[in-house]
Amino acid sequence: MGWIVVRNWDRFQHYGDRQPPWIKLYVALLHDDGFQGLGPADRSALVGIWMLYAMTRRSVRDQPAVVSRAIGQRVTVATLKRLNHAGFIDISASKPLAPDARAIETDVDVDNPPTPLKRETPEPPLPVVTAPGRRKSPTGARFTAAENWIRNGAAAEVPVGHLAEVFADEFKITDPELVQTLVERVSEWRTP
């Protein structure tokens, strides 16, 4: 399996260093032969893939079933081939570089190469702080990122049954208690 790479991605959004709350959709697409040549289902899938690409920070696997679940629409291998043929996506064998890594890679001075980047150590498990008589209160960067993702409204687009998978894949949160806490927070934000 490979990775989906959206062509000309920087043209579609301007948040280079974080997860955008929205993406740009240009009216010029109405005059684009590739876009006009797609059927309505393929156009819808393309917009869904763009949103997923933004939400995952350019990290979308070439797995139609996973993409289908994430965007709430059936996506097949044939759909991905049509989007590729129309010039909107590529399938890459290697994972696309994150926005920060792309900037580092593209700004290399040939005469003065940069010093090698330090290898990151894996994040330790989220600490759980408890006070006597109180419910566990999770802390940590990943939990905070997941909470921000919920507050930004992105979680509203994910079916409740898939939230645990998203928390595991995107935020590396697998502890059942923490996942349950986050799912409850999503439910709180969904109710008016």
Sign of the C-alpha dihedral computed for residues 104, 110, 112 and 113 taken in this order: positive
Does the pTM of the predicted model rise above 0.85?
no
Contacts of 178 (CB under 8 A, 6+ apart): 126, 128, 138, 143, 167
The confidence score (pLDDT) of residue 12 equals 62
Residue-averaged pLDDT of the chain: 76
Round to whole Å and give the CA distance between 91 and 77. Answer: 11
pLDDT above 60: residue 99 = no
Q: How does DSSP classify residue 73? A: S
Cβ neighbours for 71, distance < 8 A, ≥ 6 positions apart:
45, 48, 49, 51, 52
* H/E stretch holding 167: helix 163-171
- pLDDT for residue 124: 46
